Structure 1
Amino acid sequence: MSSLETRIDDLYRLPLGEFTAARNALAKTLSGEEARRVRALVKPTVIPWTVNQLYWHARPVYDRLVNAGGALREAQLAALKGQDADVRRSAEAHRRALGDAVRRAKELASGGRSSADGDDLARMLETLSLMSSPPAPGRLTALLQPAGFEALAGVQPVAPAEKTAANRPAQLLGSGATAPGADAAPAVRETARDKARRLVAERAEAQRLEAERLETERLAVERRRLEGEVRSAEEALAEARAAEGQARGALDRSMETRRSAEAKLEAARRAVDEHLSMVRRSFRVATANRGR
């Protein structure tokens, strides 16, 4: 990781109230594109900042939550496919990890002189842990929108008893008998497939919306960066105009001083010429008087 990336990470580790001043101070030490990039960095809101602190200062708690979310997501997908999966156990492990993460994050927020609402914090941590493609950690600036996988919460695999009844050979019950649940089995499987298709479609739509949101956020950051460049250019232009005005003023004063000096020189020359003329006349008069 480059030195600049490390310094940017350090900004997001700071107490929330120190972010803006530290960002501006960092930008002043840079130039060109790096300075513009740093000036465009967005200050996080309280909840994303708190999640960042969990990532930076309590990584084991953060990793445990993310891993539990991944395990729950896999269990739910397996359940939708009719495979054996202990969704309840995965959900309970995720619930415990989420509770621990919320408590630790609130402690970190309090230590950083900030206060995070527990419900909002829990929603964001849950959303983050269940996302299949979460944003890069540690630099979150805005609340995350659910990526659709939360809709899978509570989905259970087909009950073993139902599968057993559906697959039991009819002849075990006697000739002409129908296995209990045999007619229902296709409907159960179809219902599971329909649910899987619906949830997959919902997830795809949610991911599309999430991609749009991230793109909107990226464009907003880019817009702020460009606005920062415009402001910098305007400030530079104003400074150049001020310098030009000062230079013009100095030039005008210099020209005036020159004209004044030239006028004084011309006056001095005339005075010298007049004095020489007087001396010559006096000399001629004196010479004429001696000749008499």
Structure 2
Amino acid sequence: MTPTALHLGIDAGGSRTRAVLLDAAGRAVGRGEGPGANPAGAGTAPAAVRLAATASAALGDRPPGAVTACLIGLAGHRALADPAAFADRFRRALRLEAPVLLVPDAVPALGTAAPTGTDGTVLVAGTGAVCVRVAGLRAVAANGGLGWLLGDEGSGWWIGREAVRRAHAQPDGALGSLVRAHCAAGSSDELLRWAYDGPPRGLAALAAPVCRLAATGEPTARAITDTAADHLAALARATARPGQPLVLSGSVATADGPVRTRLLHLLADLDPLLPRTDPATAAARLAANAACHDLPAL
């Protein structure tokens, strides 16, 4: 590895994308942030453009040719019909000369708490919810991840949906008041229009205030967050292998609050780990490791 080597890591989720540029000593020398780049939601071509724009922000005034390795952890990886073509589209959009490794977002998520190159399981609960067992740079088993239409139980979207349902049924309670204020809905009909007219991530934005309300002991909100944790724990138990690391990832699973507290209790025997760094930094470290071991790019 040359002293001037730069390693680019990208964490691309459904709601936002982050990029980190590390130098040969592992120091962060650039960061970028942009909108979500999940190809299942944004579309393949727009997702590649968003990835390139976020990476360009991390590069700053450095030429793309200075990057010697790049790894992208991509939500919606399974939705790609041709991952190699997608990686090439991104490479051309950024004018990148380095190889690009395109992996599921669970791969760098594992690296936020487990040593680089370790096999293990990641429970991701943010906008959506999925649990993935990782070996090397590949997902070898997964549960959940069906998206908002067919699944994502326990996710931010699911918490938001449940909150809207309860608020519609009981508009005068504490949860109903919170939801109607968040949605600027003066009536039940306006609440329904807000829910149906907006994107699924709009419902996911309700998760944080609902969790804060649950933390005060409000029973309806607490029932939602308890059930969310139960769903997520079931995903983890169906996927994880005893003796391997289990890492929690995503805002719902890792933010200090009732979901995380209950998850840590329900999964105590699996010794779940919380992130020590961010996924984009972990992706950049994995890119450096891949470059050292001459791993093939997509």
**TM-score of the pair, normalised by structure 2:** 0.30
Larger relative strand fraction: 2
More relative contact order, 1 or 2 (CA 8 Å, 6+ apart): 2
Larger Rg: 1
Larger relative helix fraction: 1
**TM-score of the pair, normalised by structure 1:** 0.30
